């Protein structure tokens, strides 16, 4: 480290920061160390370095660049993402973990000399707005200028915030190395490891470039935040935050948890609404008896597949106009990016994550290679979006009046349902199921239990996590309503029952329910909309005629399918010690479903029958 960068580090006057930086240098042995401050020239240096290193390439449109990960490094690596713990923990759920001393020995050996010939970047960020009760400081060390550039788009700079720590160790620490490179991508994928030290708030990631594994401040920091939240009495959740706009300029703030590729970002980006954040939220009980939430990030790392002018007009416009923007693992032809489902003719040749690509190309296993990966992404600042909420960076957060839990379910759940109570809503979130997608490595189309869309990230015993949700609203004067949504219901031929834009109606109905404007029909699984209210909302919001046959098709209670789900849940929770309130909700919903099946004598019950 030269004198200038040493002075930048010394200016923080923090022995704990200095120690982890020194240890990283000694272990990784970089050729150069650069300490990056909040200064514009420092941030510009990182952007330029990503181009010089070949980690990003310029595209035709001003400000746009593209990054490619290894063909075999295209999603979160669940199998090699592990917690490091020094004592046994009764997690209650399947959690990948390693004994801390053994795990540190392994990961440190992989970091040994991993930055030889490369430049180490030392970065400082804030998770959440700065100068806020929500903000957490984070120190990132990486040899990837692409990772550092991505974090500049996604997170708030905090070098100056670190000066206010007063020599405290109260920060998250992330060490990342892409490892040995071949043709610009990580070579030793078989030695890809992402280890999370829950006891010391440190994350180690090596031999990977894919952002979900390498950008420490995203899902890796999220795991640390969940543990911290559960210890301190707040919630760190896999949630968007959006302003839903009702009559007379009314804005109602919703949060929503959806597993990857289940409509989360597109919900947060519904036309006519405003976005605070699309991925991770911190929720805290504020002194005036309400819940407030803040977006951890200031940008979006979104799945780009199926983003097109019809279904996602605001995102599409942001992706096709000049601005600072990183595409990853898309197809590039003549400096122009293309992706699956963009609503545009795709060239038959170009460059993608497999190298030189042509239509019909197959990998060494004989699998057809798409023009872009199904998990291809874009990284863009929220301020690039026309619908950014005016309070997106409010240090005080925004008041939460409703919460949505949504999964990918082709044959069971209705499009929208309101819980009977807060405990019933927690139950809906805890029993969330979703059919797997390309966002994680593994088989697609498998139904998985994903409580609160958070299973991959829960870092405390599951019972503790659910208990903290159940008691989170105790003593509050305003308790948010909770909704379940499902945009992926199909008929027997595999056709979707509703269009992608219909979600606007489900959300507007929920907003109206928050303010007592719509009646609802009680069913065994919660409260569903009345037909006349939806008919009016479809006409007003989408200019569509919504006939009763569609309503009956979508909102019929598939009672046998729901009972099958309850059986799956009973098996899952049978061997987990759960809070009594949760167990009571599981039993009550099962009994309601059985009574309905006996009463109506049908596998599928029309919503109209619950009115009789």
Do 406 and 310 lie in one domain? The reply is no
Contact, 123 vs 148, CB < 8 A? yes
The sign of the dihedral angle between the CA atoms of 176, 215, 61, 393 is negative
Model confidence over 336-347: pLDDT tens digits? 999 999 999 999
Q: What is the mean pLDDT of the chain?
A: 95
Looking up residue 434, the CATH number of its domain turns out to be 3.90.228.20
Do 196 and 225 lie in one domain? The reply is yes
Looking up residue 190, the CATH number of its domain turns out to be 3.40.449.10
Within a domain: residue 178?
yes
For residue 53, pLDDT beyond 70 = yes
Give 267's contacts (C-beta < 8 A, 6+ positions apart): 240, 242, 256, 258, 404, 406, 485, 503, 507
Please, is 399 exposed, middle or buried when counting C-beta atoms within 10 Å of its C-beta (0-12, 13-18, 19+)?
A: middle
Within a domain: residue 476?
yes
Do 127 and 250 lie in one domain? The reply is no
Helix (H) or strand (E) holding 591: helix 580-600
Q: Which of 202, 232, 262 is the last residue of a domain?
A: 232
Question: Regarding beta strands 281-286 and 274-277, do their DSSP bridges make them parallel or antiparallel, or are they unpaired?
Answer: unpaired
Within a domain: residue 70?
no
Model confidence over 537-569: pLDDT tens digits? 999 999 999 999 999 999 999 999 999 999 999
pLDDT for the residue 188:
96
Do 42 and 175 lie in one domain? The reply is yes
Q: What is the largest CA-CA distance in the chain?
A: 80
pLDDT for the residue 501:
86
Do 508 and 591 lie in one domain? The reply is yes
pLDDT for the residue 437:
55
Torsion of CA 420, 425, 429, 431, to 10 degrees: -50
Q: DSSP assignment of 107-130, as one string?
A: HHHHHTTTTTTSEEEEEEEEES-S
Do 559 and 597 lie in one domain? The reply is yes
Average pLDDT on 496-524 reads 95
Q: How many domains does the chain have?
A: 3
Torsion of CA 433, 435, 437, 443, to 10 degrees: 110
Query: What amino acid positions are annotated as catalytic residues?
Result: 262
Return the minimum-mean-pLDDT range out of 193-197, 203-207, 270-274, 462-466. Answer: 270-274
Model confidence over 377-390: pLDDT tens digits? 999 999 999 999 99
pLDDT for the residue 48:
98
Q: pLDDT grade, residue 193 (50/70/90)?
A: very high
Q: Which of 232, 251, 268 is the last residue of a domain?
A: 232
Do 228 and 248 lie in one domain? The reply is no
Measured distance CA(539)–CA(550) in Å, rounded: 14
Do 20 and 35 lie in one domain? The reply is yes
Measured distance CA(200)–CA(397) in Å, rounded: 28
pLDDT for the residue 83:
96
pLDDT for the residue 445:
65
Do 526 and 591 lie in one domain? The reply is yes
Contact, 192 vs 80, CB < 8 A? yes
Contact, 388 vs 494, CB < 8 A? no
Within a domain: residue 61?
no
Within a domain: residue 59?
no
Measured distance CA(523)–CA(610) in Å, rounded: 7
Model confidence over 211-225: pLDDT tens digits? 999 999 999 999 999
Half-sphere exposure of 251 (CA within 13 A, CB side): 14
Residue with tokens 């407030």: 292
Contact, 315 vs 295, CB < 8 A? no
**H/E/C letters for each residue in 65-93?**
EEECCCCCCCCECCCCEEEEECCCCCCCC
Helix (H) or strand (E) holding 511: helix 503-514
Contact, 382 vs 239, CB < 8 A? no
Do 464 and 581 lie in one domain? The reply is yes
Looking up residue 378, the CATH number of its domain turns out to be 2.170.8.10
Do 459 and 319 lie in one domain? The reply is no
Measured distance CA(518)–CA(520) in Å, rounded: 7
Model confidence over 219-252: pLDDT tens digits? 999 999 999 999 999 999 999 999 999 999 999 9
Model confidence over 409-465: pLDDT tens digits? 889 999 999 999 999 999 999 999 988 655 555 555 678 899 999 998 999 999 999
pLDDT for the residue 527:
98
For residue 377, the enclosing domain spans: 301-383
Residue-wise burial string across 72-100, b where 16 or more C-beta atoms lie within 10 A, e elsewhere: ebbbbbeebbbbbbeeeeebbeebebbeb
Q: Give pTM, 2 decimals.
A: 0.93
Do 207 and 269 lie in one domain? The reply is no
Half-sphere exposure of 143 (CA within 13 A, CB side): 29
Within a domain: residue 285?
yes
Percent of the chain residues past pLDDT 90, beyond the cut = 88
Residue with tokens 């030392």: 122
pLDDT for the residue 68:
97
Q: Which of 232, 253, 288 is the last residue of a domain?
A: 232
Average pLDDT on 34-47 reads 98
Within a domain: residue 60?
no
| Better pLDDT: 86 or 499 | 86
Within a domain: residue 262?
yes
DSSP state of 473: T
């Amino acid at each position: 480290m030269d004198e200038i960068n040493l002075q930048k580090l010394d200016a923080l006057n923090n022995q704990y920061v200095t120690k982890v930086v020194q240890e990283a240098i000694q272990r990784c042995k970089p050729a150069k160390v650069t300490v990056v401050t909040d200064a514009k020239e420092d941030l510009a240096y990182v952007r330029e370095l990503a181009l010089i290193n070949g980690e990003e390439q310029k595209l035709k449109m001003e400000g746009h660049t593209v990054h490619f990960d290894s063909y075999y490094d295209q999603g979160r690596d669940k199998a090699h993402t592990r917690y490091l713990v020094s004592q046994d923990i009764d997690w209650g759920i399947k959690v990948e973990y390693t004994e801390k001393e053994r795990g540190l020995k392994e990961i440190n050996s992989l970091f040994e000399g991993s930055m030889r010939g490369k430049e180490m970047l030392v970065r400082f960020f804030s998770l959440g707005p700065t100068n806020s009760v929500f903000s957490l400081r984070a120190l990132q060390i990486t040899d990837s200028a692409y990772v550092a550039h991505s974090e500049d788009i996604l997170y708030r700079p905090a070098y100056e915030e670190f000066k206010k720590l007063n020599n405290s160790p109260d920060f998250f620490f992330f060490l990342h190395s892409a490892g040995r490179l071949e043709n610009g991508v990580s070579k030793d994928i078989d030695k890809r490891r992402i280890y999370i030290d829950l006891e010391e708030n440190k994350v180690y990631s090596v031999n990977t470039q894919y952002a979900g594994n390498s950008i420490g401040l995203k899902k890796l920091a999220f795991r640390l935040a969940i543990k911290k939240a559960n210890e301190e009495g707040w919630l760190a959740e896999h949630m968007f935050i959006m302003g839903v706009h009702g009559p007379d300029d009314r804005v109602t703030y919703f949060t929503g948890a959806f597993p990857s590729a289940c409509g989360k970002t597109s919900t947060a980006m519904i036309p006519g609404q405003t976005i605070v954040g699309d991925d991770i939220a911190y929720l805290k009980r504020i002194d005036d008896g309400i819940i407030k939430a803040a977006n951890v990030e200031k940008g979006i790392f979104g799945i780009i597949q199926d983003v097109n002018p019809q279904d996602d007009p605001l995102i599409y416009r942001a992706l096709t106009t000049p601005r600072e923007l990183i595409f990853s693992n898309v197809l590039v032809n003549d400096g122009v990016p293309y992706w699956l489902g963009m609503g545009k003719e795709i060239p038959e040749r170009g460059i993608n994550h497999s190298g030189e690509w042509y239509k019909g190309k197959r990998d060494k296993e004989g699998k057809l290679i798409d023009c872009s990966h199904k998990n291809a992404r874009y990284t863009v600042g929220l301020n690039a979006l026309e619908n950014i909420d005016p309070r997106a960076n409010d240090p005080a957060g925004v008041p939460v009046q409703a919460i949505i839990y949504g999964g990918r379910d082709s044959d069971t759940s209705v499009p929208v349902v309101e819980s009977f109570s807060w405990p019933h809503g927690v139950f809906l979130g805890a029993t969330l199921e979703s059919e797997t997608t390309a966002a994680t490595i593994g088989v697609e189309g498998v139904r998985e239990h994903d409580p609160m869309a958070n299973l991959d990230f829960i870092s405390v015993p599951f019972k503790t996590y659910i208990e903290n949700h159940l008691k989170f609203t105790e003593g509050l004067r305003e308790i948010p309503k909770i909704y379940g949504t499902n945009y992926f219901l199909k008929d027997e031929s595999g056709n979707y029952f509703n269009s992608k834009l219909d979600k606007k109606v489900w959300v507007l109905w929920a907003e109206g329910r928050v303010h007592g404007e719509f009646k609802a029909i009680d069913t065994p699984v919660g409260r569903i909309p009345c037909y006349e209210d939806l008919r009016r909302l479809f006409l007003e919001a989408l200019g569509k005629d919504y006939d009763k046959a569609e309503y009956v098709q979508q909102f019929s209670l598939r009672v046998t399918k729901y009972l099958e789900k309850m059986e799956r849940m009973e098996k899952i929770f049978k061997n987990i010690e759960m809070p009594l309130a949760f167990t009571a909700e599981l039993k009550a919903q099962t009994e309601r479903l059985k009574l309905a099946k006996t009463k109506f004598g049908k596998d599928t019950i029309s919503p109209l029958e619950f009115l009789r």
